Amino acid sequence: MFPILVAASSGADRIITQFIRYRPSSAGLPDSRGRTFLHIAAEKSEWKIVAFVSWILNMQDTDGNSALHVAVQSECLRSFCPLLGNPRNTEVIINMTLSICGAKLGSHRPGHFIETCTKSHDYQRKEAENLKDSTQTMCIGSVLIATMAFGAIFAVPGGYRADDHTNRGTPTLAGRYPFDAFMMTNTLTFICSWVATMCLMISGFPFVELKSQSAYFLSSMLFAKSSVTSLSAAFALGVYMVLGPIAHKTADVISVMSPLVVTCASINGFLFG
């Protein structure tokens, strides 16, 4: 590798100035890939070197890329600006650079452009407002479900054993299958509702992008629906534990009716969602 290329990779702009002043032909020396020192400076984001040299900017490496293309691929704005603004850049190179950036092809009247941008901003503003209102409503319900689940953990059906018992202070119905299932579903309700609440809080932050807000809101809806399902199951299990030994048929009917809440929510989501 030539010394001027090493100086470009290390950002030694003064040494490059001396090379060009006393040996101008060294500016066109390429490396094994056909890149000049300007290509390397653009790749390494050495914008001072890029801004200093302009006459060599149209030279291309073996891949057909000029220093302008390399600056775009390296996402270095400070190197890109002096290269794009140089009048020696050909129209072909500028068009190719715009293609690398993903710019849209076509021409628009200023009035149409302003109208399109205004409509886009109005749509995003309305979407943000609708998302904010929906977040506030959903957050109230999610917090209520989490509060109910937290309270049910410590106010278990059947109460606690008395102080004169061997296992005093423990749940009376502990160890039974319905009780274990109740605790699991109630815990799942608490976890899902709090995850939904956190997602709703993040989706309500104004500095979060609209796409991210929508993604968090959709995630919160999924967790909120899961918490409602778990809450219905916990309610049915709690009723079954209390009424099962003395009113088995009543407990069965209530257990069958409890999933109607989830069914109605699913039907409403299918019809209106």
d(CA 254, CA 241): 12
The reply to whether 86 and 134 lie within a common domain is no
Contact 88, 54 (CB under 8 A): yes
- Sign of the Cα torsion 72, 93, 85, 58 reads positive
The answer as to whether 118 is a domain residue is no
The answer as to whether 198 is a domain residue is yes
CATH number assigned to the domain comprising residue 64: 1.25.40.20
Contact 2, 26 (CB under 8 A): yes
The reply to whether 17 and 133 lie within a common domain is no
| Structural domain boundaries, residue 69 | 3-101
Burial (CB count within 10 angstroms: exposed 0-12, middle 13-18, buried 19+), residue 72: buried
**What's the first-to-final CA gap in the chain, in angstroms?**
63
The answer as to whether 48 is a domain residue is yes
Tokens of 262: 């989830």
The reply to whether 53 and 165 lie within a common domain is no
d(CA 211, CA 77): 25
The answer as to whether 111 is a domain residue is no
pLDDT higher than 60, residue 74: yes
pLDDT higher than 50, residue 30: yes
The count of domains in the chain is 2
The answer as to whether 119 is a domain residue is no
Whole-number Cα distances in Å, 213 to 61, 210, 224: 43, 5, 16
The reply to whether 97 and 183 lie within a common domain is no
The answer as to whether 57 is a domain residue is yes
pLDDT of residue 239: 84
**Domain boundary residue, one of 84, 101, 118:** 101
Residue pLDDT, tens place only, 214-229: 888 889 888 988 888 8
Sequence-distant (≥ 6) Cβ neighbours of residue 8 within 8 angstroms: 16, 37, 38, 40, 41, 44, 46, 49
Whole-number Cα distances in Å, 227 to 144, 250, 253, 264: 11, 25, 22, 15
d(CA 186, CA 242): 16
The answer as to whether 121 is a domain residue is no
pLDDT of residue 204: 79
Residue pLDDT, tens place only, 167-215: 777 777 777 888 888 889 999 999 999 999 998 888 877 777 778 888 8
Q: Is this prediction's pTM over 0.75? A: no
The reply to whether 204 and 71 lie within a common domain is no
Contact 93, 81 (CB under 8 A): no
The reply to whether 95 and 133 lie within a common domain is no
Whole-number Cα distances in Å, 40 to 29, 91, 117, 235, 254: 12, 23, 38, 68, 74
The reply to whether 81 and 160 lie within a common domain is no
pLDDT of residue 109: 55
The answer as to whether 107 is a domain residue is no
Give percent of the chain with pLDDT exceeding 90.
5
**Domain boundary residue, one of 53, 86, 101:** 101
The reply to whether 155 and 249 lie within a common domain is yes
Q: Binning pLDDT at 50, 70 and 90, where does residue 95 land?
A: low
